[in-house]
Amino acid sequence: MSTSFQCSHCPHNFSTRNAYSQHVNRCINTVYLSTEESSEDISDIVSSVNEMSLDDEDFSRINEFQIIREENSQVFYQYESDQDYAGDISFGEISHSSNIPEEYENFDEILPASLQSNEEPEYENFDKILPASLQSNEEPEVENIKEFPNEAYVDLMALVIENNLNNKAGNAIIKFFNKHSDLSQLSPLPKNIETERKFMDKMNISQLSYSKYCVLTHNSQDYFIHYRPIKNCIKNLLSNPDILKNLMFRYENSKDEKSYGEQNSGNWWKQAERSISNHTNILSIILYSDATTTDTLGKSSLHPIYVSLRNIPTWRRNKEDTKQLLGYLPILSAKNEKEKKSSEFKELARETFYNSIKFLLDPLFQGDGVDFNIDDKDIWFFPRISTIICDWPEACTFSLTYKSANSNYPCHFCLVQREDLIDIRKEVILRNHVNMKEYFDSNTSNLAGLEQVNNYFWSIP
């Protein structure tokens, strides 16, 4: 004997308690607001369905439902009139003024037997009934992208990166361009900066922004420097108006009380300035170094080198836009542990590092100074490597000292023996180009804890 459930707020009857309870929750709030059948009556039908794929033939008996679209045998619906049901399944383009016959008010009654069960449907994995393009929410991988879509795309991202603009500022530029460009076709720019950053993340940056040069072939493997010309890096720094207005060109000598602050107030700058013509300027170069593992160039162990200028005051140089990535130096891989520990491999690694440094820095020292255009004027500079900032292992690499705290002369700054490092009465002999080159030329580098490798910095001023 069938049981009927009648709503106390309207004349509707239901054959199941579930359909009745769902209807009552909605009917209480609407019965006094409208005498017409509303879209809320449909909610009783919608809410009883949970994650089921429905065939359009199952709805042929309901005139009020319209098929929205069918793609590869899967129909998708959206119920637009009630946002409370924008959850598991949504229906669209349902006639909001339509009346649903009472005989179909229990949704189970309009389903075929195969769909009335709560058991798992035939397709245990919903992806199996979706077209391939819809089976994943992940963005498709962009592989081997080697260039931007157009020149405007390149210029925009260069503007954003060089001026350290955030996404909001970049999006404002895109909006301004699209509004006033009066293009007859689609905008060449991305929809927003976030999209462009994601696009760049998937690009082969080694092919896009950097040139590469094979510095060594070892064990049938080529080792490349990925680099940007150092003059271009310096030009980028000198093209920043905010950097230019604070740039220091000359030695500052106070006749009264001496205050040492910036490098151009110290003796190093004073001596360097004396070694050049009065009509030229010192370009004081800083190198930053730290070996790391990077994803950009294929999970390679690389040695990034950054460049900046001590002509820029310290307070300004601490900002991100005052450093330029000069390039990535390769780090050699040994074929086995025996080769790794051999003196020949260690010497080869040091030589490769210095050959790479020479390749990067030579363009600054090949002529009689360098010219850079500043405020539409050509300014003549003599470059000097004044500072190298790095960790202790990289400091040993630059100075060619042994990378061991147990060596007789473990300090890369001085020639004090290990057992005398805590004795403040001992005279400190600093390492410099002159005494280090003497050890090298006499083939006695080991007496100073020095690798028998020619140091590139000995050959430049």
Query: Looking at residue 74, what is its pLDDT?
Result: 39
Give the H/E segment covering residue 435. helix 433-441
Position 21 confidence tier, pLDDT thresholds 50, 70, 90: confident
Position 123 confidence tier, pLDDT thresholds 50, 70, 90: very low
- Token pair listed for 428: 């400190």
Query: Looking at residue 103, what is its pLDDT?
Result: 45
The whole-number average pLDDT for the span 300-314 is: 88
Return d(Cα 415, Cα 392) in angstroms, integer.
16
398-449 pLDDT tens trace: 999 999 989 999 999 999 999 998 888 888 999 999 999 999 999 999 999 9
Query: Looking at residue 187, what is its pLDDT?
Result: 76
| Least confident piece of the model among 40-44, 125-129, 351-355, 387-391 | 40-44
Query: Looking at residue 199, what is its pLDDT?
Result: 63
Position 78 confidence tier, pLDDT thresholds 50, 70, 90: very low
Residue 331's Cβ-count burial label (10 Å; 0-12, 13-18, 19+) is middle
The Cβ of residue 292 has, within 10 Å, a number of other Cβ atoms equal to 11
Please tell me whether the overall predicted TM-score, pTM, comes out greater than 0.75 for this model: no
* pLDDT higher than 70, residue 37: no
The whole-number average pLDDT for the span 236-259 is: 85
Instruction: Write the DSSP assignment of 153-221 as a string of letters.
Output: HHHHHHHHHHTT--HHHHHHHHHHHHHHS--SS--SS-S-HHHHHHHHHTB-HHHHT-EEEEEEEETTE
Q: Strand ranges (DSSP E) for 375-446? A: 377-389
